[in-house]
């Protein structure tokens, strides 16, 4: 209806995934950014692109675009590293995180 809702209501509706006290907002954002940065850069870019495209495309077209991005990731070095890490039961070290 376009009316403001509380953070708690947004959480209950599934519009957001977390509510934190004001004094922990930056700490929480940093932790989330750190988790995202540890993921494959190729996969992160593809996911963000799919979300942004979803605003401008009909649902079916958005899902098709998401599927195409997902399929394109299978041929990347990060996918191979992710599979190796899974089989070796270790954390993955994606391209920018390898040392």
pLDDT for res 96:
65
Does 46 reside within a domain? yes
pLDDT per residue as tens, the chain (99 positions): 788 999 999 999 999 999 999 999 999 999 999 999 999 999 999 999 998 988 889 999 989 999 999 999 988 999 999 999 999 999 999 986 555
Looking up residue 70, the CATH number of its domain turns out to be 1.10.12.10
- Please report whether residue 30 resides in a domain: yes
pLDDT computed for residue 72 by the predictor = 92
Q: According to the 3-state scheme, what is the secondary structure of the chain?
A: CCCCCCHHHHHHHCCCCCCCCHHHHHHHHHHHHHHHHCCCHHHHHHHHHHHHHHCCCCHHHHHHHHHHHHHHHHHCHHHHHHHHHHHCCCCCCCHHHCC
In a domain, 13, yes or no: no
Q: What is the pLDDT of residue 83?
A: 93
| Domain coverage including residue 44 | 22-91
pLDDT of 35 reads 92
């Amino acid at each position: 209806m376009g009316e403001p809702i509380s953070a708690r209501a947004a959480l209950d509706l599934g519009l957001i995934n977390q509510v934190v006290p004001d004094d922990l907002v930056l700490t929480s954002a940093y932790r989330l950014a750190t988790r995202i940065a540890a993921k494959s850069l190729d996969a992160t870019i593809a996911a963000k692109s799919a979300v942004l495209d979803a605003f401008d495309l009909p649902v079916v077209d958005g899902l098709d675009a998401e599927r195409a991005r997902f399929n394109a990731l299978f041929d990347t070095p990060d996918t191979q590293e992710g599979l190796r890490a899974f089989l070796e039961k270790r954390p993955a070290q994606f391209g920018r995180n390898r040392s």
